[in-house]
Amino acid sequence: MTLPRRGFLAGAGATLGALALAGCQTAQDYANDPMGAANQLSQLMSSHGESAPVDEAALGEGLYPRLVAQSGGAYGNPRIQSAVRSFAQPLFRTSKRSFRWEITVLDDNSPNAWALPGGKLGINKGMLRYVASESELAAVISHEMGHAELSHQIAELESKGSTDKLVAFFKDVAQREIDAKVSGLHDLTSQGLDALAPAMSELITSGYSRDHEREADAYILTVFRATGYDPRQASAVFKTLDSLVPPGTEATTSLFSTHPGTRDRIERLDDAAARLPAGGSAGSADFATIKAVFPTRRYYLRNPAEAS
């Protein structure tokens, strides 16, 4: 069973909402007819060819605490969490999606960031150590916003077969664990999210298709034009990331692609930025707060003897 591109979103939202709120009569029906339950679950997951943003929001809301926990947990400095949230707000306001945008600083030293459907972002404290300017931090956040804004996670999960796996999972649970209590339906929903979390985690931390990465890169310029950042600074963080990785390393994240991937992305961004009006942003007190805790590291991993 293959779901349409947006069908998975609608199904996840329906499962999170409709099933969790199902009445006792429905629960009893599930107990008496396991295969009917399985079929109804599949229908819930495929009944909407188009979905509203709330479907993506439901999926993101469900997965966010799981992925934060799997990514080292939230960094335990409230001042930094507040500063990053405040810094991101003007960027979030450029979105045309009705998401409840949210960002969490993660207790992870690797320089990376990620986004879930529905506008839920994570940024590693290791990334904060290497962004040298407001523009670099804004570019990281804007790039991850682009993945959520353009529903890249959903398209990627579908292309990798994860939607079929999720439907099969719900059928299996319906067959094996139809204890037909409403609390059991809550458990079923939770287990469905637990089953999906590893696939989502691998996707958002290891990178997307080349086309999706290029679209997210281009989205940086959209946000920069709306907020006044200089488009010519959009590629600076990618140059930093390219310097962080020793030659010959085979690695891919949402923000870094093994050579020549990242350099190609830099060239594309620079070419597009050159055709746009220059901009500039005023000094950010929030960025100053971030840098007071995470001074920018100037020595990169290509020079391990000099690394700070």
pLDDT band of 100, cuts 50, 70, 90 = very high
Instruction: Flag whether pLDDT at 188 surpasses 90.
Output: no
What 3-state class would DSSP assign to 134? Answer: helix
Query: H-helix or E-strand containing 207?
Result: none
Would you say residue 118 has pLDDT above 60?
yes
Full-model pTM: 0.74
The confidence score (pLDDT) of residue 300 equals: 64
- Per-residue exposure over 145-157, b if at least 16 CB sit within 10 Å of its own CB, e if not: bbbbbbbbbbbbb
pLDDT value at 242 more than 90: no
- pLDDT of 152-182, one tens digit each? 887 887 776 655 554 544 444 444 444 443 3
Report yes or no: 220 and 269 within 8 Å, Cβ to Cβ: yes
Q: Cα–Cα distance between 118 and 16 in angstroms, integer?
A: 14
Distances from the Cα of 182 to the Cαs of 33, 161, 191, 236, in angstroms?
15, 30, 14, 52
C-alpha closest to that of 115 among 102, 100, 128: 102
Look at residue 301 in the predicted model and tell me its pLDDT: 56
Region 85-89: what's the mean pLDDT?
98
- Of the candidates 178, 162, 227, 195, the one whose C-alpha atom is nearest the C-alpha of residue 38 is 178
pLDDT for position 190:
67
pLDDT value of residue 49: 39
**Who wins on pLDDT, 14 or 294?**
294
pLDDT of residue 192: 64
Is the predicted pLDDT of residue 132 greater than 90, yes or no? yes
Mean pLDDT of the 91-110 span: 95
Sheet holding 120-124, edge to edge: 102-106, 120-124, 113-116
pLDDT higher at 94 or 305: 94
Amino acid identity for residue 85 in this structure: R
Quote the CA–CA distance of 296 and 87 in Å, as a whole number: 17
